[in-house]
Structure 1
């Protein structure tokens, strides 16, 4: 079991990032263009960026009681990536995940999103939103596999800072309704 585990799934333990995680975050995924290409946050250029992410995470958890979680392989203890929730309004949160390349194609992204759905249910949220670059076909397949439905009314303009020219693109909105409340 991972120390200070916050949430777990079949193959992962999830917890809040701590300062000691900065180098791993930087090395495993946040500095890699192939990982961050379609994400809405800038690729980390230095360890200082990963430390800033951890401070951001601390603030999110302190102010909103939710935020980013790091995802670790339960067997090896290796950092797989991150996922999390961010409140959009009082009863709906947005979610997403990022997975290190060595774990691509093994269902960890799907497991992350299913875990975020379970966390949303435990928080009695009405639903979740995810925003995806329209050319990010792997993420679209994963989100749809997790029961998210494309909702054109939820699409929004987003900057994708890791693409050439940092274009503003109309990101597809996907929604998941908990159906419980």
Structure 2
């Protein structure tokens, strides 16, 4: 099991008993407003199951880590990445609404960047739905740079949104 830590956080590989957290994250309107439209529980379960197998740099699925507040023991959300091409990965993070805006997204993202560098990745990217200002700020605090806008790339409900692509160069 992979375990990472920061000053305030512990991050560990997601396991089967984390299903309630994963379901809640994907059911919270505030968390999902810029991520997906409403998703059936069966689809959420499929996404969860897809992330459970052991992860390695050759895996096609996401490395998914549960983020926990070391002081309180509360589970805050999940973070991780998936390899897109040799040396390059896409990173992502979902936090429960009550834990947003407290610096946990930035701190957990920095741990992911450090781990990506340690396993030899060269660059990272993150896709943010246009309008998700908080996520853009987290990425910029972590050193990501806006790279491009993809017009009308993603539909949530009956609205189309642009994708904002951010890049981070490790080496």
User: C-alpha separation between the residues in 1 aligned to 2:78 and 2:150?
Assistant: 23
> What residue number does 2:119 align with?
123
> What residue number does 2:158 align with?
165
**2:31/2:94 contact within 8 Å kept:** yes
Q: Please give the TM-score of this superposition, normalised by the length of structure 2.
A: 0.86
> What residue number does 2:22 align with?
25
Q: Runs of 4+ in structure 1 displaced over 3 angstroms?
A: 41-46, 48-51, 154-158
User: Within 5 A, what are the aligned runs for 1:60-139?
Assistant: 61=55, 64=59, 67-139=63-135
**1:67/1:84 contact within 8 Å kept:** yes
Of the candidates 141, 144, 157, which is equivalent to residue 140 of structure 2?
Answer: 144
Tell me how far 1:45 sits from its aligned partner: 3.9
Tell me how far 1:165 sits from its aligned partner: 1.6
User: C-alpha separation between the residues in 2 aligned to 1:95 and 1:156?
Assistant: 21
Give the structure with the higher percent strand. 2
Superimposed CA distance per residue, residues 27-86 of structure 1 (whole angstroms, 9 cap, x where no aligned partner)? 3x22111101111x555543x444433311024726618611111111222110111011
Residue 176 of structure 1 pairs with residue 145 of structure 2: no
Of the candidates 27, 33, 48, which is equivalent to residue 54 of structure 1?
Answer: 48
User: C-alpha separation between the residues in 1 aligned to 2:152 and 2:83?
Assistant: 18
Superimposed CA distance per residue, residues 72-110 of structure 1 (whole angstroms, 9 cap, x where no aligned partner)? 111222110111011111011010111111111110010
Give unmatched runs, 5+ long, in structure 1.
none
Residue 36 of structure 1 pairs with residue 32 of structure 2: yes
Give the structure with the higher percent helix. 1
**2:8/2:71 contact within 8 Å kept:** yes
Q: Please give the TM-score of this superposition, normalised by the length of structure 1.
A: 0.82
User: C-alpha separation between the residues in 2 aligned to 1:77 and 1:136?
Assistant: 28
Tell me how far 1:170 sits from its aligned partner: 3.0
Aligned residues between the structures: 169
SS at match of 2:112: helix
Tell me how far 1:148 sits from its aligned partner: 0.3
> What residue number does 1:8 align with?
5
Backbone CA RMSD of aligned residues: 2.3
SS at match of 1:88: strand
